[in-house]
Structure 1
Amino acid sequence: MFDTIAAISTPRGEGGIGIVRMSGEDSINILSKIFRPISKKKVEELKNFTINYGHLYSGVNLVDEVMVSIMKGPKTYTKEDIVEINCHGGYLMTEKVLELVLSNGARIAEQGEFTRRAFMNGRLDLTQAEAVIDLIHGKTERSLSLSLDQLRGDLKDQILHLKKLLLDVVAHINVVLDYPEEGIDDPLPEGLVGNLKEVLETSDRLSASYNQGKMIKEGVKTAIVGKPNVGKSSLLNSLLKEERAIVTHIPGTTRDVIEEIINIKGIPLILADTAGIRNTDDFIENIGVEKSEKLLNDADLILFVVDGSRELSEEDLRVHNSIHSEKVVGILNKIDIEQKIDLSKLDKVGRWIEISAKENIGIAKMEEEIYSYIVSGKVEDSSQTLVITNIRHRSALVKTKEAIENIFETINMGLPMDLIAVDLKEALDALSEVTGEISSEDVLDHIFSNFCVGK
């Protein structure tokens, strides 16, 4: 924690600008050894929160023409002195600048170490630190909005509010247990029972929001399945609004799984156009069929495509019988042609959506139906409520809820108040896990290992 760390904070490869970042008490001293401002001032004389033009040198050798940002703690991302060197982009140049910094006293940062220092130094709580990585990985406007809410501290503030409600109860119980001569009644006052009810309801609502949050954050793994030549690739192209998959009249054109992401009302759909599931002697196509069958088991949503212009076949039934998920939407394709199919034997499909992928008929309505099916009308508008997106948060909130339920059971059974204190501690500890006030090194290592080195 006392070393000065450094890393390349921009993506590796060619680009206009590359940024090498340092954080730690020796950052400005290291900079003074390698940077010559065009102003001729000493580095120590440069004003805080300024960008300074000049040149980097390794001894007497010019390394690069740069712009350097100087930010002195504690009002920085890590609450330490931070220096950011804006050099010319490109793999070799950024590596040379990083090597120059390291050779003058810095060490290479570990994954997520800048953000970990921000957490350890009290700049962020753990929910805000996790929001940083969610912002980097965000796939839609809606997921970015949730991450920004969390980074702003919305979840932290909610958890602190719940903890205050419980601490009020703890204070009352401590008085009852420690000062029995005061004659305070054992039953909790109505106001404190209200505190417990609010914690119970809020922890229940937040933990229940995880399924929606997970969809918004990670996306819905969606498999497009069906026998060969029913229009799966045409359906993918229609949803993407571009020619991503090859479309021909020849069965078995798609030999592998093609994955793309589309955004339906803020929920990412990770679409996988699979090889048609059928018996085949083609070795390569058979590998694609095996991948398709595996994808069926892993998918969150299955779009089962059939050709309405042809009679139901054994291949259609084979695909149908391979489906073991309840989340299946049937896509009746080629409705622009005379219909011959009988859907009565395909009883695993909950609803059918009629389209013509080739003629672009019914695509917009299909997107609406898919969205409606995903959310099933059971979730709230995430723009109006706090939604959690992290399984760690959900687990802690479930523990909180269960501890409060135990308290109400203790009260209803008329058991001694000191038993309530045990469950109150469990609830408070669970809430502290969310914000990181109670966290093991293993948990922290796991969280920050998902960051890139420069963040």
Structure 2
Amino acid sequence: MFDTIAAIATPPGEGGIGIIRVSGPEALEVAQRVFRAARARDWVKEPGYRMVYGHVVDAATGEIIDEVLLSIMRAPHSYTREDVVEINAHGGWMAVSRVLEAVLKAGARLAEPGEFTRRAFLNGRIDLTQAEAVLDIIRSKTRESMDVAVSQLRGLLGARVRELREELVALQAEIEASIDFPEEVGAPAPDGLRARLERVKDEITRLVATSETGRVYREGLAVVIVGKPNVGKSSLLNALLGEERALVTDIPGTTRDVIEEVARIGGIPVRLADTAGVRETGDVVEKMGIERARRKVAEADVVLLVLDAAQGVDAGDRVAAELIGGKRRIVVVNKIDLVPEGIPEDVIRELAGEVPVVRASAKKGTNLDAVARTIGELVGRLPRGEDAPVVTNVRHRAALERAGQHISDALDGVQKSLPLDIVAIDLYGALGALGEIIGVTATEEIIDRIFETFCVGK
């Protein structure tokens, strides 16, 4: 049996409404101690999904604290599947703090981070993937990333994992029956067993394949801007962001460190990084900046190699191209406002290979939409997970990969005609790994780690 918890559910600061959420077996009793309805009635007997107008008072002195609306949600028809009361007070830190203080004095305990969602999980209203989706929705930076999170909250990933577990449970039952009752129950046919295991493995492989898409939506696409000094890298960053974020001068080597900002390009959250100009230099600080640029390129999903249309290609550009290595890249020929014809295509191909080329002017804003569009095209059209699950979480991917390895080992055992009890061990391992994803077999440590990242009040 849980105790009764309370917390402020709205962000700090001034606003029209501030909400104090109370959940637990004594939520109604706690509210009754501090709430006085404007009209004399026994509001505690009201059915769920009702709002009552009145005041919150200090239970000890009777002093009115605030004018509020109190909403009632009775178990199991609430977020936590417990009795829940939400007190809608006036926005502003003092108002909600005083109401919360009165609620805590009346018998509630201050909730821990994520404790309301944790109770929703422990009480069976949502699985662990849905609980994690709540946090993903809160942290979404674009509509598309939110769509992916909402699909997970709807239960698409959890449902698919449960289907896979059910198939493995059925296989496990057949194998164990044949081991325990060999005379009554024959062993599963190897071909049929192999076919069913391969179907499960194929589906796990498909889910793992979506994890790169999921990572981009969840963490953002890492796009790094690289080039020799004074080709307009900082100007390009500012132009793509639509604001003056990086210092722009005519002095080569102005950018000594990596500057990072987040933009929305084609519905994808993009983490843009402007790096130090790459060149041979004796300046110790500039060398450190170039080394940081090298490390940033290693982490990049896409690199923008910026060339100066007025200068053409020289040794500095070749150093920058070598720094990029085999990363996906787009060549941006900048400053076409100065030299419209720019750099010949064959010279660009010799430098960077067969890659997309965009001719632009960061200073004049020419063809910036083409730069953004080319980034999206290079990544490819990412599915939004509206109808099929997309794996967005590193924890989910790791568990799926473990499950897939166990299935591969089981298939190897069937192929080698190993005893079925050996195959059964691998099936147990796969079931455990899949169970971790939805929370069936997750340890207390894993659950704690997930919910401690939530804010208090959620």
CA contact (8 A) 2:145 2:384 kept: no
Look up the SS of the partner of 1:180 in the other structure.
Answer: coil
Q: In the alignment, residue 106 of structure 1 is paired with which amino acid?
A: A
Q: What is the CA distance between 1:388 and its match in structure 2?
A: 0.7
Look up the SS of the partner of 1:105 in the other structure.
Answer: coil
C-alpha distance in 1, partners of 2:202/2:84?
Answer: 43
Taking structure 1 as the reference length, the TM-score comes to 0.90
Look up the SS of the partner of 2:389 in the other structure.
Answer: coil
Q: Point out where structure 2 has 5 or more consecutive residues left out of the alignment.
A: none
Q: In the alignment, residue 378 of structure 2 is paired with which amino acid?
A: Y
- 1:385 matched to 2:383: no
CA contact (8 A) 2:15 2:91 kept: yes
Aligned to 2:268: 267
Aligned to 2:224: 223
Matched ranges for 1:41-56 at <5 A: 41-56=41-56
Aligned pair partner of 2:182 in 180, 183, 186: 180
Q: What is the CA distance between 1:346 and its match in structure 2?
A: 3.9
CA contact (8 A) 1:227 1:276 kept: yes
Aligned to 1:353: 358
Q: What is the CA distance between 1:49 and its match in structure 2?
A: 1.4
Q: What is the CA distance between 1:16 and its match in structure 2?
A: 1.5
Deviates more, 1:80-89 or 1:355-364: 355-364
Give the RMSD, CA atoms, in angstroms: 2.8
Q: In the alignment, residue 195 of structure 1 is paired with which amino acid?
A: R
CA contact (8 A) 2:174 2:188 kept: no
Deviates more, 1:325-334 or 1:202-211: 325-334
C-alpha distance in 2, partners of 1:30/1:196?
Answer: 53
Aligned to 2:454: 451
- 1:425 matched to 2:431: no
Aligned pair partner of 1:362 in 358, 367, 370: 367
Look up the SS of the partner of 1:309 in the other structure.
Answer: coil
Look up the SS of the partner of 2:412 in the other structure.
Answer: helix
C-alpha distance in 2, partners of 1:334/1:23?
Answer: 61
- 1:62–1:167: structure 2 CA closer, same or farther, 3 Å change rule? same
C-alpha distance in 2, partners of 1:349/1:117?
Answer: 54
Q: In the alignment, residue 411 of structure 1 is paired with which amino acid?
A: V
CA contact (8 A) 2:129 2:437 kept: yes
CA contact (8 A) 2:15 2:92 kept: yes
- 1:245–1:193: structure 2 CA closer, same or farther, 3 Å change rule? same
- 1:80 matched to 2:82: yes
Q: In the alignment, residue 377 of structure 2 is paired with which amino acid?
A: S
C-alpha distance in 2, partners of 1:335/1:311?
Answer: 11
C-alpha distance in 1, partners of 2:54/2:207?
Answer: 51
Look up the SS of the partner of 1:445 in the other structure.
Answer: helix
Q: In the alignment, residue 353 of structure 1 is paired with which amino acid?
A: V
Q: What is the CA distance between 1:107 and its match in structure 2?
A: 1.2
Aligned to 1:408: 411
Aligned to 2:34: 34
Q: What is the CA distance between 1:354 and its match in structure 2?
A: 2.4
- 1:167–1:230: structure 2 CA closer, same or farther, 3 Å change rule? same
Aligned to 1:107: 109
Q: What is the CA distance between 1:41 and its match in structure 2?
A: 2.0
Look up the SS of the partner of 2:183 in the other structure.
Answer: helix
- 1:332 matched to 2:337: no
C-alpha distance in 2, partners of 1:183/1:13?
Answer: 67
C-alpha distance in 2, partners of 1:99/1:329?
Answer: 56
C-alpha distance in 1, partners of 2:424/2:300?
Answer: 44
Aligned to 1:214: 215
Q: What is the CA distance between 1:405 and its match in structure 2?
A: 1.5
C-alpha distance in 2, partners of 1:351/1:343?
Answer: 10
- 1:422–1:281: structure 2 CA closer, same or farther, 3 Å change rule? closer
- 1:8 matched to 2:11: no
C-alpha distance in 2, partners of 1:266/1:123?
Answer: 31
C-alpha distance in 2, partners of 1:386/1:153?
Answer: 9
CA contact (8 A) 1:55 1:65 kept: yes
Q: In the alignment, residue 233 of structure 1 is paired with which amino acid?
A: S
Q: In the alignment, residue 127 of structure 2 is paired with which amino acid?
A: D
Q: What is the CA distance between 1:352 and its match in structure 2?
A: 3.4
C-alpha distance in 1, partners of 2:6/2:77?
Answer: 19
Q: What is the CA distance between 1:289 and its match in structure 2?
A: 6.2
Q: What is the CA distance between 1:30 and its match in structure 2?
A: 1.1
Q: In the alignment, residue 173 of structure 1 is paired with which amino acid?
A: I
- 1:103–1:290: structure 2 CA closer, same or farther, 3 Å change rule? farther
CA contact (8 A) 2:69 2:88 kept: yes
Q: What is the CA distance between 1:139 and its match in structure 2?
A: 1.5
C-alpha distance in 1, partners of 2:271/2:77?
Answer: 40
Q: Point out where structure 1 has 5 or more consecutive residues left out of the alignment.
A: none
C-alpha distance in 2, partners of 1:328/1:22?
Answer: 52
**CA shift digits 1:227-265 (9 cap, x unpaired):** 343222332233234555554545455566443322233
- 1:228–1:90: structure 2 CA closer, same or farther, 3 Å change rule? farther
Look up the SS of the partner of 1:182 in the other structure.
Answer: coil
Matched ranges for 1:248-267 at <5 A: 248-251=249-252, 257-267=258-268
Q: What is the CA distance between 1:395 and its match in structure 2?
A: 1.2
Q: In the alignment, residue 86 of structure 1 is paired with which amino acid?
A: N
Deviates more, 1:395-404 or 1:443-452: 395-404
C-alpha distance in 2, partners of 1:135/1:186?
Answer: 45
Look up the SS of the partner of 1:305 in the other structure.
Answer: strand
Q: In the alignment, residue 394 of structure 1 is paired with which amino acid?
A: R
CA contact (8 A) 1:216 1:266 kept: no
Aligned pair partner of 1:120 in 119, 122, 125: 122
CA contact (8 A) 1:51 1:67 kept: yes
Aligned pair partner of 2:377 in 372, 377, 381: 372
Look up the SS of the partner of 1:176 in the other structure.
Answer: helix
